[in-house]
Structure 1
């Protein structure tokens, strides 16, 4: 269920500004469904709580309440459609409206004790035609054990506050990981890794305090430092993606953003009027 006031506060965190020219705006009545409307003092254009959001210009706005709950739970498109009372095609289209909106969200830096490690997902061409490539069923194991050309590296970093960043990288080398960590980890953080050369090199390049645990020799903890949090995040990520029975590698960054924000996704969705009674679809 959407938290109306919180969603509005997030959208107008910098004040009641026009989405077109960023000038101040004033309230300008309400629409039939109760949506607040505004008018810009500069360009004189009017807009509402939905303008420039995934909900804009969509019908069945009441269905966004149960649909946001389905997004929070990470349900598949058919299950989301059943929960919201819409078609499967509409549920899939709405999902990607929301995911494209998440692409623009600013990321908070990780600080304190930060655990980082790579995981590898099988490359997927779901929904694409690749000339000269043999058909195969989605899922299963790669053509080679361990790392291979058919695997996609994903860097996961978590701090002890519960914040996390999940990033697909083209190559898990020092240069690429350094670039990712420079944007996501605060200079004052302590980076805890399994001692991999790429992460160790990135820590040196950024001047981070680095704690390397030699997991190959079963050194999995040193005082308060361990990699249990990031390893649990790996398992959660793979369980989350398994719901969709294969995510195309080209769309993987969107699903990684969804995984990262799934617990608070209702806060980022646009404002939808909340009726005083229970939702007619989900009963909440």
Structure 2
């Protein structure tokens, strides 16, 4: 039977199916809607790929417009052959996910990442039937391909504070290499964290060099910045805040001296608040409660990941801020556009 005959049979069967929908029971209709939604979710990735191909018709190798269809991949992505250079390509050629076979699951990973309750790599891998290493690799591709999440221009009443993330060397071989050959590999700068938890070494109270400050800046317009800084010294705060806080802004912070010095140098109106009852709001409108609420949401977000490695911390901060800014389909289009 020819391919044309098969398509005609499929179209005829589809028309017959549409004519019989009216005879379905309410339970069958609900089941149909559920299955249709699942199929649509799986086909959404292919639709985005085809949309990109129609918008960018030029060959990725020679930039010519002439092309013809040249079969499909086993994943259903349409391939084309350039009339000029005779090379074949698809909507994924030249992108960071070229060669990826499960586009539907890749989009599901994006949806989970941008949801209110993202899962850990192991839990999401078990749900999708993949390995945790695949989930991790896809997440790194997604976070590297998406745009910067932090805002740069603040105005009006600006709130600033900092929270802390414990330094992590998850995945590092420093301790194992030192134990195997202490002459070739120097001792790591600190013991592993489980040594402190075991009680063999007491951890010093308060802040230390192993607590990474995360500077948080917000204004009443919803602009946000969440970034790690080296320390809380005056010079570090000056370098971080000077490019983004205008001279006519009103700065609200706690009593840290670095903020006071910054406002004095730039002649900013400064309100200091405290966490003591009755002193959390000054003049009825100046506070840092929006920043504190953001810190609480970040703590809930980062907890399931059990302390990401510090070298990947900036990616997790970008992930945290992007969840409220971008939709899954828009994120998938951004990844396709990031060649």
**Cα deviation, residue 215, structure 1:** 3.8
User: Does the aligned pair in 2 maintain the 1:66–1:83 contact within 8 Å?
Assistant: no
CA distance in 2, matches of 1:36, 1:107: 39
Aligned partner of residue 152 in structure 1, secondary structure? strand
Q: Which position in structure 1 is the counterpart of 2:215?
A: 155
Q: Which position in structure 1 is the counterpart of 2:240?
A: 180
Q: Which position in structure 2 is the counterpart of 1:191?
A: 251
Farther off after superposition, 137-146 or 235-244: 137-146
Instruction: Map Cα deviations across residues 157-187 of structure 1 (whole Å, 9 max, x no partner).
Output: 1222333211100111222122222344445
CA distance in 1, matches of 2:272, 2:98: 48
CA distance in 2, matches of 1:115, 1:107: 14
Give the strand-richer structure, 1 or 2: 1
Q: Which runs of 5+ in 1 are unaligned?
A: 40-44, 274-284
**Which of residues 58, 64, 74 is equivalent to 2:106?**
64
Q: Which runs of 5+ in 2 are unaligned?
A: 1-40, 176-186
**TM-score, length of structure 2 as denominator length:** 0.63
**Cα deviation, residue 206, structure 1:** 4.2
CA distance in 1, matches of 2:127, 2:275: 44
User: Does the aligned pair in 1 maintain the 2:215–2:228 contact within 8 Å?
Assistant: yes
CA distance in 1, matches of 2:88, 2:102: 22
Aligned partner of residue 236 in structure 2, secondary structure? helix
**Cα deviation, residue 108, structure 1:** 4.4
Q: Which position in structure 2 is the counterpart of 1:55?
A: 97
User: Does the aligned pair in 2 maintain the 1:71–1:265 contact within 8 Å?
Assistant: no
Find the structure with the greater CA-based Rg. Answer: 2
**Cα deviation, residue 118, structure 1:** 0.9
Q: Residues 88 and 212 (structure 1 numbering): CA distance in 2 closer, same or farther, change over 3 Å?
A: same
**TM-score, length of structure 1 as denominator length:** 0.73
Instruction: Map Cα deviations across residues 190-241 of structure 1 (whole Å, 9 max, x no partner).
Output: 2211132112223334444332224457511122221111011112112211
Pairwise CA RMSD: 4.2
Farther off after superposition, 213-222 or 57-66: 213-222
Matches within 5 A, 1:210-229: 210-215=270-275, 218-222=278-282, 223-229=284-290
Higher relative contact order (CA 8 A, sep 6+): 1
CA distance in 2, matches of 1:221, 1:184: 24
Aligned partner of residue 156 in structure 1, secondary structure? strand
CA distance in 1, matches of 2:281, 2:308: 34
